[in-house]
Structure 1
Amino acid sequence: MLNQESLVDIHVLHQQGHSIRAISRQLGIARNTVRSYLRDIARTPNYGPRPERPSKLDPFKPYLRERIEAAKPYWIPGAVLFREIETQGYDG
């Protein structure tokens, strides 16, 4: 599926009088793809937000936030936090 920019490029080049073959050569996409997008003007790529994926750190995030808040205004090195969550069972 093409992105919105390529779709606009196809339509602009077509409006400028370029042939389907010239458009496909210039944009580096197949002629049938160009032809398909020119036929179906209403079809536009519709990308929505992707679902959030779980992280290995999710079970440890409350602990890490708590440790960081407790250390303010100072900071705790990442290596120290890593060792701490490793002892709690983190295997990442």
Structure 2
Amino acid sequence: MLTLEQAVTIQILHQQGKSIKAITRELGVSRNTVRKYLRQNTTPQYQRIQPRISILDPYKPYLLQRVNAAHPEWIPAVVLYQEILRLGYPGKIRILRVYIATFI
């Protein structure tokens, strides 16, 4: 699949009177690809994918509660990691450290 910029470039070059063969040489794509994008009446639109769910998401309320409870003090990520491991967290500590860093 071409980028939106490439698809628009194909349309513009075609409107300027360039042949399919000239467009393929200029952009480095196949003739069938150029034909496909010329047949489309609209420019392709990017579709947003569903945001990925983190394996840390089920434990975030607990972590937020723990951080807020110890607010003037700081709980090390290693301690929080050990606590959520007991709750069934399957991930690594690096994900937790990145999340905890947002509270600083």
TM-score range, shorter chain: 0.7 to 0.9
> Within 2, Cα distance between the matches of 1:8 and 1:74?
55
> Within 2, Cα distance between the matches of 1:74 and 1:24?
63
> Within 2, Cα distance between the matches of 1:80 and 1:8?
53
> Within 1, Cα distance between the matches of 2:26 and 2:73?
56
TM-score under structure 2 length normalisation: 0.67
Any gaps of 5 or more consecutive residues in structure 1?
none
Q: State the Cα RMSD in Å.
A: 2.2
> Within 1, Cα distance between the matches of 2:50 and 2:69?
32
Any gaps of 5 or more consecutive residues in structure 2?
92-104
Aligned residue pairs: how many?
91
What is the Cα deviation at residue 74 of structure 1?
4.7
1:3 has 2:22 as partner:
no
Task: Determine if contact 1:4/1:45 at 8 Å carries over to the other structure.
Answer: yes
Identity among equivalent positions (%) equals: 56
> Within 1, Cα distance between the matches of 2:19 and 2:86?
65
> Within 2, Cα distance between the matches of 1:74 and 1:22?
67
